[in-house]
Amino acid sequence: MSGEIELVSDGNGVALLGDVGAIDRFLASEGLPSRELDLSRLSTATATGAGAVQVGAQAAATSGRWVLLTEKSALAMKSMPMMKGSTAGTSRAVAMDGGKTSHILEIVRTPGAMLTNPAILTGVAGLMAQMAMQQAMQQITDYLVRIDAKVDDVLRAQKDAALSAMVGAQMVIEDALTIREQVGSVSEVTWSKVQATPATIAQTQAYAIRQLDAIAQKLEQASAVGDVAKAAQEARSVVGEWLAVLARCFQLQDAVAVLELDRVLGAAPEELEQHRAGIRIARQNRLDVIERSTARLMVRMDEAAGTADAKMLLHPRSAQTIKVSNESVGSQVRDFADSLGIETGHESVRVRRWLEAATDARDRALESGATGVENAKDFSERTVDRARATTTKMVGALAERAKRERSAPGNEDRG
């Protein structure tokens, strides 16, 4: 298999399997970062069936690297015609090392020994799912460090037992991950310590979502601009903490999924593919719940910003509080969404400054005043015309009356 690289893609990343030199040259030529894919973990997946020992030995001797599927890596893989894989949601290809410094891969259509073995391909897909979740966990860690979130302090400060219990659940999960790294698998003993933690994490996640929904509801119920400003300011002070708690929950749920896949691989490898698909669906469902909650919050914040814009001239201090709070919460939600890979597409409503509001009001007043002057002028001209017409009519009537009186019998001599 020297010089041959086999590729597997699951939509989140690409696994490169084969000759270490060929893989390194390809990655270097494209400038793609990668992480080691430990194929030795697949030995249990090939423990049965004819030729299992040979294929298992081949898996152990094969080098593997995992590349996160980004815009850059997707472009590098674009020239490779991927074929449908034998497991759901995967595709595959085989490439030959041509010895060039760029475009070094020559695509061939015939899968090699690694990709023609369904057990191996299923195992590789499971490892790739683990790598994707570990990458996501690191992104959340970077997010929490960047915002300097003291999640543990927030949880300990809560009176709810489920929230404080999550600190303990986190310690159990981190211990299990450490043991996994040292041993290379998840034993029954290790899993028995971890398997109860998802319930605690789910309770904490639900609590945090309820807190965000309560903030959104308070904004919705506020009517006076002062009450809206107060609710917006409160949102600004606590939203970041609850988003950080949600991020930690999601991180720990991914960690449990990584351990779970290892446990299934060791105990029931024939169920690995179905389990991997189930984990992926459940993960997306959690993302959808979080996305809906943050979207509701931002709708209410934007409505508050609309109130601030309308009331800027009469209530500049409250409007300014709402403006600053809306911008802050919007920024916090965007950072949080980026760390979880959620596409928000949200842009905060822009609130005018007081001077802008005053200028707009002046322009409207001037426009209204100019219109009033024109209307007054028209009214005055119409009034004068009506007065002239009335006067003319009255003078005519008086002249006609005088004429009739002079011509009446007995009045002739008076003329």
Three-state secondary structure along 248-304?
Answer: HHHHHHHHHHHHHHHHHHHHCHHHHHHHHHHHHHHHHHHHHHHHHHHHHHHHHHHHH
**Which residue, 352, 375, 407, sits at the end of a domain?**
352
Q: Which of residues 106, 121, 136 is at a domain's end?
A: 121
The answer to the question of residue 134 being in a domain is no
In the predicted model, is pLDDT for residue 340 greater than 90? yes
- Residues 347, 206 within the same domain: yes
SS3 34: coil
Nearest 5°: phi and psi at 34? -150, 170
Return the pLDDT at 245: 93
**Are 98 and 208 found together in one domain?**
no
Domain-terminating residue out of 330, 352, 374: 352
* Whether residue 50 is found in the same domain as residue 13: yes
Structure confidence by residue, pLDDT tens digits, 285-295: 999 999 999 99
Q: Are residues 93 and 155 in the same domain?
A: no
Let me know whether 99 and 189 are in one domain.
Answer: no
User: How many domains does the chain divide into?
Assistant: 2
Q: pLDDT band for position 93 (50/70/90)?
A: low
Higher pLDDT: 307 or 260? It is 260
d(CA 23, CA 5): 7
Cβ neighbour number for residue 336 with a 10 Å cutoff: 24
- Convert the pLDDT of each residue in 372-386 to its tens digit: 545 545 545 555 455
**Is 366 inside any structural domain?**
no
Domain that holds residue 13: 4-121
Q: Are residues 177 and 279 part of one domain?
A: yes
pLDDT at 118: 74
Residue 413 located in a structural domain: no
- Range with the lowest mean pLDDT among 73-82, 180-189, 362-371? 362-371
- pLDDT score at 290: 95
Length of the chain in terms of residues written: 415
Quote the distance between the C-alpha of residue 184 and its chain's center. 33
Residue 368 covered by a domain: no
- Mean per-residue pLDDT of the chain: 76
If asked whether residues 58 and 174 sit together in one domain, one would say no
Residue 373 lies in a domain: no
**What is the model's pTM?**
0.74
Point out which residues pair with 97 in neighbouring strands.
Answer: 105
Highest mean pLDDT of the ranges 248-257, 337-346, 383-392 = 248-257
- In angstroms, rounded to a whole number, what is the distance separating the alpha carbons of residues 88 and 241? 38
Please indicate, yes or no, whether residues 170 and 286 belong to a single structural domain of this protein.
yes
